[in-house]
Structure 1
Amino acid sequence: MLKTSILLAATGILALSACKNQSAESVNQEKATPVAALTEDVSQWPNAVTYEIFVQSFADSNNDGIGDIKGMTGKLDYLEDLGVKAIWLMPINPSPSYHKYDVTDYYGIHPDYGSMEDFKEFVDEAHSRGLKVIMDLVVNHTGRDHPWFQSAVKNPDSPYRDYYVWADKDSIADQIAKKEITLDSDNITQWHEAPGNSQSYYGFFWGGMPDLNFDNPEVKEEIFKIGRYWLEEVGVDGFRLDAARHIFPDDRPEDNHAWWQEFRAEMEKVKPDVYLVGEVWDSTEKVAPYLKGLHALFNFDMSYAITEAVAEGDADSLVVKHKAIRDFYSRVTDDFIDAIFLTNHDQNRIMSALEADPEKAKMAAALLFTLPGSPYIYYGEEIGMLGKKPDEHIREPFLWKPKKEDALRASWIEPTYSTDTSVQALSVQKNNPESMYNHYKNLIALRNSSPALTFGSLEEAHTKVPELVAFRRMSQGEDLLILHNLSGEAKQFSLSGPDLEYDQLFFTSEADASREMDKVSLPKYSTVILKKD
């Protein structure tokens, strides 16, 4: 393993660990000399960092303008070096849309992305580097062009008719009138007419995505077969389950919970260590019961809370909120993974949400990698890519090199937000010690080396300074006090009581941070981590 003095000093970030017999004053005197060494890598998947990729925008190997699997395979060394331990792929199945959430063949690879052989090679190459592969599995609905639905539309007596949800128009008049939206969909027309049919079909998201009928045992078995295929025949390590709360209508949450328990049991028969992470975009109270069936759930509440805290420069109840969520989860099961993230492919990018302020974006990342949970990074977040809705512009091409030199840059869309004038390409950022890329890489390295940051408990520390987020993390004998200054001004934290025992300056994001006597000085938008001997 690289020494911290080599890895972090080279990028302008300091990690310090005082010798056991040093006083706090001597720690401060030597604060500019990084002397700590990283321990062995303790952060193992699934308690590690995962990287989300929209294949279409990531790396284009054949210069057709569309990112592809071979391009992605060629960048596995980059991902390994970044320090992530798993890759989540947005849908890769055949589909008529650019986003590919309207699947037409659950057993295939979209031809724009490559072949099944290409994908199996990608999985093998990822595994050879110790990287896991999670694929998006879209089972709430199919695409309108899926052969099942086409058969169902054309023939009311088709064996696939009951694969979908149909109703006479008179019986659903009151449902049509409701026109309700949810956090994950602004669609208000959920029943749709089918040419040549007297009945309407149900499509929660839109008419191009007809919902499957999970009251039909044959549908359930089809989904089991699909899952088995990708785990057994292709070798993926798990699934990100799209729209997990919409398998059954919203007034049947218990049926949703039961379905995912059934699905998990079937997948574990094939692969005992399969990993299932669900998209349940709702309040903690409604999210938590899904942990009986899914190993992990995305923590949307904390995504919003981190963004708001950094945007407003106010710690408020950030730590209390996170602890309350985790405590609530623990009442459902003591075996869960808290999938934390800043933003994903359905939200304005974190850099845009923070008004393109790189210092605030770095602070958001510092919170992500020091709070409990297993962090997810949305591709391009680590280079400060921007993006606002509509969704296409949250999913713009990754910038590997300046445009004239970038043979891998996708061009399927003309970017509006992440251009060469607004975002420095990765190759440029690698040479800049203060870049967003190096900030992410160093925080990931720090987290990967720390038992407390990977597995540790969470306990709020009280600072009486509204702009400071302060909390303790402890695991496997490592006891840390983490301090974040969310403001654009330097702040001081007065240590008292048990906090005085944190006498080692373990990590600082800024060289002029210090600990003198009982005072910790934090420059603007900085992080300081103290360690107890």
Structure 2
Amino acid sequence: MPITVFKSGNLYFVRFSVNKQPRRAAFVIGSFTAFMKPIELEFCGPDYCAYISLPPGKYYYRYLVDGEVVLDDGPTENGFNVLKLGGSIRRVHENRRRLFRAIYGIFVDRFGCKRKGGPRDRLGGDLSFITDKLSYIRSMGFDAIYLTPIFRAMSYHRYDVVDYINVDDDLGGNNAFKELLRRAHELGIKVILDLPIHHTGSEHPAFRAALSGDPKYSHWYYIYNGDYEKFMDVKRMPKLNMKFAGEWVKGIVLHWALVGVDAFRIDVGAGIPPWFLWDLRNFINKPLIAEVWGDPFLWRNAVDGVMNYQVWEPLIKFLRDEINAEDFAQVLKRQLNVLPKHFLINSWLFVDTHDTPRAITMLNNDIEKFKAALAFIYTWIGTPMLYYGDEVMLEGGPDPDNRRCMDWKRVNGPNTLHEFVRRLSGLNLMPRRIIVNSSELIYYDNKFEVRLSNRPRRYGSGVLSGDYFIIKGR
């Protein structure tokens, strides 16, 4: 029953727990909430627990299990346990800066394929191969990599996790990931880990226990009338109930934060209550980016940013001449008006992802339009994220065709965008006004002006330019 204390930076992470199963409820009460608001302990597998992050200091606490006071075996004062967390108190500054300059997204199984197979087979990509390519990634100006899930899971994409604490052996296991972290940090690259916590895999031990009727685990899922809630109605992906599984999830995220992961991308973030993501972000003190396909307004204060699909769709439609510049501008203006600036800055802009067709395919292999799309994500307000293979214009239709093996033969070929991406990475814009002029979207800051068109134009030289865009000094 003793507490467990972890330390990271200037914060302590404390796991309060009791082994005694409550008939009604168990709480921890302490000076960290002025003894006024008890924190309920939730079932965490072997025990009932709650995770709290605290600065250095002296704290008093005790448990209430079914209304009875329960104490740990440690020191006590006036009927409370005493917890001393050493260290000096430092002023906390809210993080309002840009978290990453540019992110390189990697579908782990397909970045370095080692064997042939079908589009839904495991083709052998692993973490050691990614480690070997970190210098290549850094050379294009990326200061972060985003990895699709690396945990032990049921499928090649690993969004159906069965063990959140261990790296899949097919990827090289825990040691391979620690080596990747070490080498990435040496090169100044941060590592963002994909967290599928909206749902688990159907073979996860907790879900198997829930299906068997275990009343403790059954609350972690939405099980009723012989069926259960699922992600996209996929039977192998049962949805988690954060009201009951939330503390367990906190433990998972804390584990990887202590290993050295720099930030987390929350899969199906729009399906997780904002209150839980807010609580998780404040607890873990690490950046969280949520996958949100619709309007990100509800998550503006819960996470540091979103994958900005609300901008991605009109960008592609505009370049395909399916909407006009005014329609595109209205989406951008609305976000400027309703979303905090730091939230927009840290939201990801992209031309494609592992959930969309490849941009070069959507743009009918028009390289000039593809370059215009890249120019936009590097110059509009946000954080550019390139999906692996964008630099060699890797093709692909809808899932799973958009997850083809990286074509390393193209890397040294004549038609690549490595230098173009490097030059975009050297730009630093913070647009403050949008203008629509016929088929052009125009935006600018004090140093640069960007013009984006869905009709070919004879633009001048500028800092960078193409048939459908120009970036020029002001």
Q: TM-score, normalised by structure 2?
A: 0.74
Q: Distance in 2 between matches of 1:356 and 1:96?
A: 34
Q: Distance in 2 between matches of 1:115 and 1:157?
A: 31
**Residue 461 of structure 1: which of 410, 426, 435 is its match?**
435
**Residue 354 of structure 1: which of 341, 356, 363 is its match?**
363
Q: Would you say 1:46 and 2:46 are equivalent positions? A: no
Q: How far off its partner does 1:304 sit?
A: 0.9
The answer as to whether partners of 1:61 and 1:70 remain within 8 angstroms in 2 is no
| Local SS of the residue matching 1:316 | helix
Which position in structure 1 is the counterpart of 2:229? 202
| Aligned AA (1:263) | L
**Residue 364 of structure 1: which of 341, 350, 373 is its match?**
373
Q: Would you say 1:220 and 2:246 are equivalent positions? A: yes
- Sort the Cα spacing of 1:129 and 1:65 in 2 relative to 1 into closer, same or farther, 3 A: same
The answer as to whether partners of 2:434 and 2:444 remain within 8 angstroms in 1 is yes
Q: What pairs up with 1:6-17 in 2 under 5 angstroms?
A: none
Q: What pairs up with 1:283-432 in 2 under 5 angstroms?
A: 284=295, 287-312=296-321, 314-330=324-340, 337-389=346-398, 391-401=399-409, 425-429=410-414
| Local SS of the residue matching 2:283 | helix
| Local SS of the residue matching 1:368 | helix
Q: Distance in 2 between matches of 1:62 and 1:122?
A: 22
Q: Distance in 2 between matches of 1:444 and 1:334?
A: 20
Q: Distance in 2 between matches of 1:509 and 1:480?
A: 13
Q: Distance in 2 between matches of 1:262 and 1:508?
A: 43
Tell me whether 306-315 or 96-105 shows the greater mean CA deviation: 306-315
Tell me whether 67-76 or 367-376 shows the greater mean CA deviation: 367-376
| Aligned AA (2:219) | D
| Local SS of the residue matching 2:441 | strand
Q: Distance in 2 between matches of 1:334 and 1:486?
A: 28
CA offsets per residue over residues 171-225 of structure 1, 9 Å max, x none?
A: xxxxxxxxxxxxxxxxxxxxxxxxxxxx322213211111112222xx1111010
Which position in structure 2 is the counterpart of 1:76? 134
| Aligned AA (2:262) | D
| Local SS of the residue matching 2:279 | helix
Q: Counting helix residues as a fraction of each chain, which structure ranks higher?
A: 1
The answer as to whether partners of 1:140 and 1:242 remain within 8 angstroms in 2 is yes
Q: How far off its partner does 1:65 sit?
A: 4.2
Q: Counting strand residues as a fraction of each chain, which structure ranks higher?
A: 2
> What is the root-mean-square deviation in Å for CA atoms of aligned residues?
2.3
Question: Where does structure 1 lack aligned partners over 5 or more consecutive residues?
Answer: 1-43, 169-198, 248-255, 269-273, 402-424, 493-504, 511-523
Which position in structure 1 is the counterpart of 2:291? 279
Which position in structure 2 is the counterpart of 1:128? 186
| Local SS of the residue matching 2:166 | coil
Q: TM-score, normalised by structure 1?
A: 0.66
- Sort the Cα spacing of 1:157 and 1:319 in 2 relative to 1 into closer, same or farther, 3 A: closer
| Aligned AA (2:413) | V
Q: What pairs up with 1:37-116 in 2 under 5 angstroms?
A: 46-60=99-113, 65-116=123-174
Q: Distance in 2 between matches of 1:335 and 1:318?
A: 16
Which position in structure 1 is the counterpart of 2:261? 236
Which position in structure 2 is the counterpart of 1:418? none
| Local SS of the residue matching 1:108 | strand
Q: Distance in 1 between matches of 2:463 and 2:345?
A: 29
Which position in structure 2 is the counterpart of 1:188? none
The answer as to whether partners of 1:399 and 1:426 remain within 8 angstroms in 2 is yes
Q: Distance in 2 between matches of 1:309 and 1:60?
A: 34
| Local SS of the residue matching 1:104 | strand
**Residue 224 of structure 2: which of 167, 179, 184 is its match?**
167
Q: How far off its partner does 1:239 sit?
A: 0.6
Q: Would you say 1:267 and 2:284 are equivalent positions? A: yes
CA offsets per residue over residues 221-243 of structure 1, 9 Å max, x none?
A: 110100000001x2000110011
Question: Where does structure 2 lack aligned partners over 5 or more consecutive residues?
Answer: 1-96, 117-121
Q: How far off its partner does 1:334 sit?
A: 6.9
Q: How far off its partner does 1:143 sit?
A: 0.3
Q: Distance in 2 between matches of 1:318 and 1:82?
A: 29
Q: How far off its partner does 1:60 sit?
A: 4.4
Q: How far off its partner does 1:58 sit?
A: 0.5
Q: Distance in 1 between matches of 2:391 and 2:441?
A: 22
CA offsets per residue over residues 67-111 of structure 1, 9 Å max, x none?
A: 100000000000110101111100111111111100000001111
Which position in structure 2 is the counterpart of 1:118? 176
Which position in structure 2 is the counterpart of 1:470? 442
Q: Distance in 1 between matches of 2:354 and 2:423?
A: 24
| Local SS of the residue matching 1:207 | strand
The answer as to whether partners of 1:469 and 1:486 remain within 8 angstroms in 2 is no
CA offsets per residue over residues 308-334 of structure 1, 9 Å max, x none?
A: 111118533433421321221139x87
- Sort the Cα spacing of 1:105 and 1:265 in 2 relative to 1 into closer, same or farther, 3 A: same
The answer as to whether partners of 2:144 and 2:191 remain within 8 angstroms in 1 is yes
- Sort the Cα spacing of 1:203 and 1:275 in 2 relative to 1 into closer, same or farther, 3 A: same
| Local SS of the residue matching 2:161 | coil
**Residue 525 of structure 1: which of 442, 452, 468 is its match?**
468
- Sort the Cα spacing of 1:143 and 1:121 in 2 relative to 1 into closer, same or farther, 3 A: same
The answer as to whether partners of 1:49 and 1:86 remain within 8 angstroms in 2 is yes
Q: Distance in 2 between matches of 1:157 and 1:134?
A: 34
| Aligned AA (1:108) | N
For these two proteins, the number of residue pairs brought into alignment is 371
CA offsets per residue over residues 419-477 of structure 1, 9 Å max, x none?
A: xxxxxx01114xx6xx33332222223x2xx3xx1xx1320235x4x232211123xxx
Q: Distance in 2 between matches of 1:110 and 1:290?
A: 31
Which position in structure 2 is the counterpart of 1:406? none
- Sort the Cα spacing of 1:151 and 1:226 in 2 relative to 1 into closer, same or farther, 3 A: same
Q: Distance in 2 between matches of 1:393 and 1:265?
A: 38
| Aligned AA (1:215) | K
Which position in structure 1 is the counterpart of 2:9? none
Higher relative contact order (CA 8 A, sep 6+): 1
Q: Distance in 1 between matches of 2:411 and 2:111?
A: 12
The answer as to whether partners of 1:484 and 1:525 remain within 8 angstroms in 2 is yes
